[in-house]
Amino acid sequence: MARRKDYSARSAGRQSPPQLKRSESRLNQRLLVLLACEGKNTERLYFEAFFAVLKNHRMLSPASCVFAPHQHTNPTGVLEDLLSFKDGAGRVSSDYEHRWIVIDRDEERHGGGGHTLEDFNEAVEKAMNSKKQVKVAWSNPSFELWYLLHFHYHNTAIDRDKVIKKLELAMGKPYDKSSRDMYSLLATRLPEAIKNARRLVGEAKAVTGKLIPARANPATTVYELVELLQSLYKMVE
């Protein structure tokens, strides 16, 4: 009589090792990233797409990477939004391993808009000196510089309006700050953006001896937040 094959044993052999399952479970339970954004649409929609990659294709829970409710549009107000975070389950800002604010230098403009230099500098300083450090993904002049760096390197001083004009030229279409497609549109160019952003920061440091966000135009540290999110993705691959 032919010996029956033990398919269950083979199947069990293909399952994830117990230690990997335990690791995935622990990661799923961790409160990883709390993010507060200056912009109600632009920055949030971009990073929502990043969070979706982590949550939809891997093992992260909805609570692992979250946004603080949007209450303010000035840098110090954004920091306040992050520090005062508390959700329905009682989780607070200090519970999260990585806390970030995303802000722009965005100088004051005639007719309204933008922020004072003092407000921007205060937000950066308070974030760095908070009891549990808050990291700052800042852009000078604006978040759209991060988008532009996906297409080419730019290292001469520029204002927000010119950044958008150059971005539209590079994309070959009008820019919509409320678009939900920017992450997917730019995803394949991400390595180039990181390289260009890191190069800008290096040049800014070389000029003054240290990185001074308010003086570093153009520059952005958004790439540091992006690299953190990429590292979380690799942790659960």
pLDDT in tens, 169-202: 999 999 999 999 999 999 999 999 999 999 999 9
Is position 37 within any domain? Answer: yes
* Residue 156: Cβ within 10 Å count: 7
Residue 14 lies in a domain: no
SS (H, E, C) the chain: CCCCCCHHHHHHHHCCCHHHHHHHHHHHHCCCEEEEECCCCHHHHHHHHHHHHHHHHCCCCCCCEEECCCCCCCHHHHHHHHHCCECCCCCEHHHCCEEEEEEECCECCCCCCCECHHHHHHHHHHHHHCCCCCEEEEEECCCHHHHHCCCCCCCCCCCHHHHHHHHHHHHCCCCCCCCCCHHHHHHHHHHHHHHHHHHHHHHHHHHHCCCCCCCCCCEECHHHHHHHHHHHHHHCC
The answer to whether residue 44 is domain-embedded is yes
- φ and ψ at 153, to 5 degrees? -80, 135
- Residue 57: its pLDDT value, please? 65
In a domain? residue 202 = yes
Residues 6+ apart with CB under 8 A from 135: 98, 99, 100, 101, 127, 224, 225
Question: Residue 31 and residue 182: Cα distance in Å, rounded?
Answer: 26
Query: Could you give the CA distance from residue 146 to residue 141 in angstroms, rounded to a whole number?
Result: 10
User: What is the per-residue pLDDT for 54?
Assistant: 79
Residue 6 lies in a domain: no
The pLDDT assigned to 65 comes to: 93
d(CA 235, CA 82): 25
Total number of domains in the chain: 1
Question: pLDDT of 11-46, one tens digit each?
Answer: 444 444 444 344 444 556 689 999 999 988 999 999
Note down the domain range covering 95: 19-235
Q: Which pLDDT score, from 0 to 100, does residue 232 have?
A: 83
Domain assignment of residue 8, yes or no: no
Residue 42 resides in a domain: yes
CB atoms within 10 A of CB 167: 20
Q: Which residues of the chain have pLDDT under 50?
A: 1-25
Global confidence as pTM: 0.86
**Is position 13 within any domain?**
no
